[in-house]
């Protein structure tokens, strides 16, 4: 069965600091990779996704993620965080079992201090 | 384009009761997935339906069940509620690419 690990449960940063959130998955076959974000009081929404091609993908609001197949990793990065980035971030992977069996990590709560 | 709609948004039940939650997917989306979200556990996959058929199932007891109708609307049912079933239940629809579009969830409290 697929498992997804997010290394940091709670991260506190000051505005303008750089962000990197770790994500590792266990399944070695073909996968699609996602980062979702849940802002306070809002529903989960897609931040970025990787299906194939360039392993460096760019998402909304200046976020990017790098897929490193050899390390089974898909880390999320942002060069300079803003207070509005305060949210919970979830890494997700689909496969095996078809496209719609999407496994989520336990999430990382990011708090950005002004 | 309307998003995923879940009803009810909040509900309180007592142990032993049953509950039915409803989800209307985005128009044109034929896949509907259900997740349980709890603090510390993240999102746990319950099941996924496509064209009225359950395609994938997570590791939840048989008290958790679901179905999908011909218009792609889906319901999930939890019977014999336990305190540990208190959670936010999320529905997500998709066009079958793996990218999920979530509703705001139904928050269930079991007393």
Per-residue model confidence as pLDDT tens digits over B1-16:
679 999 999 999 999 9
* B19 C-beta neighbours (distance < 10 Å), count: 18
Q: What is the DSSP pairing of strand A10-14 with strand A108-113? A: parallel
Provide the shortest C-alpha distance from residue B48 to chain A (in Å). Answer: 7
Higher pLDDT, B41 or A73: A73
Contact residues, B window 49-108, toward A, CB-based 8 Å cutoff = 50, 55-56, 90, 92, 94, 96-105
CB contacts of A32 in chain B (<8 Å) are: 97-98
* B26 C-beta neighbours (distance < 10 Å), count: 18
Per-residue model confidence as pLDDT tens digits over A46-101:
999 998 899 999 999 999 999 999 999 999 999 999 999 999 999 999 875 555 67
Query: Taking CB atoms and an 8 Å limit, are B98 and A106 in contact across chains?
Result: no
Judge contact between A6 and A91, C-beta under 8 A. Answer: yes
- N- to C-terminal Cα distance for chain B? 37
State the Cα–Cα distance between residues B46 and B88, nearest whole angstrom: 12
State the Cα–Cα distance between residues B47 and B35, nearest whole angstrom: 7
Query: Taking CB atoms and an 8 Å limit, are A100 and B35 in contact across chains?
Result: no
Task: Please state the rounded mean pLDDT for residues B53-63.
Answer: 92
B51 pLDDT higher than 60? yes
> What single string gives the DSSP state of each residue in A85-97?
G-EEEEEEEE-SS
Record the tokens describing residue A33, joined without a space.
Answer: 């990779």
With an 8 Å Cβ cutoff, is A60 touching chain B?
no
């Amino acid at each position: 069965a697929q498992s997804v690990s997010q290394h940091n449960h709670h991260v506190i940063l000051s505005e303008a600091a750089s962000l990197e959130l770790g994500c590792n998955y266990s399944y070695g076959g073909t996968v699609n990779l996602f980062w979702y974000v849940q802002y306070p009081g809002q529903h989960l929404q897609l931040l970025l996704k990787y299906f194939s091609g360039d392993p460096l993908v760019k998402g909304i609001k200046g976020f990017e993620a790098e897929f490193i197949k050899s390390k089974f990793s898909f880390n999320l990065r942002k060069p300079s965080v803003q207070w509005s980035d305060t949210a919970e971030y979830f890494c997700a992977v689909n496969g095996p079992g078809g496209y719609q069996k999407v496994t989520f990590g336990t999430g990382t709560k990011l708090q950005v201090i002004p | 384009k309307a998003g995923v709609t879940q009803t009810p948004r909040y509900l309180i039940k007592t142990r032993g009761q049953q509950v039915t939650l409803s989800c209307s997917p985005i128009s044109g989306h034929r896949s509907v997935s259900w997740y349980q979200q709890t603090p510390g556990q993240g999102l746990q996959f319950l099941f996924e339906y496509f064209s009225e058929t359950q395609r994938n199932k997570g590791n939840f007891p048989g008290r958790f069940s679901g179905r999908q109708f011909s218009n792609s609307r889906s319901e999930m049912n939890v019977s014999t509620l336990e305190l540990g079933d208190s959670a936010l239940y999320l529905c997500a629809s998709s066009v079958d690419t793996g990218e999920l579009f979530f509703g705001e969830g139904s928050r269930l409290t079991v007393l």
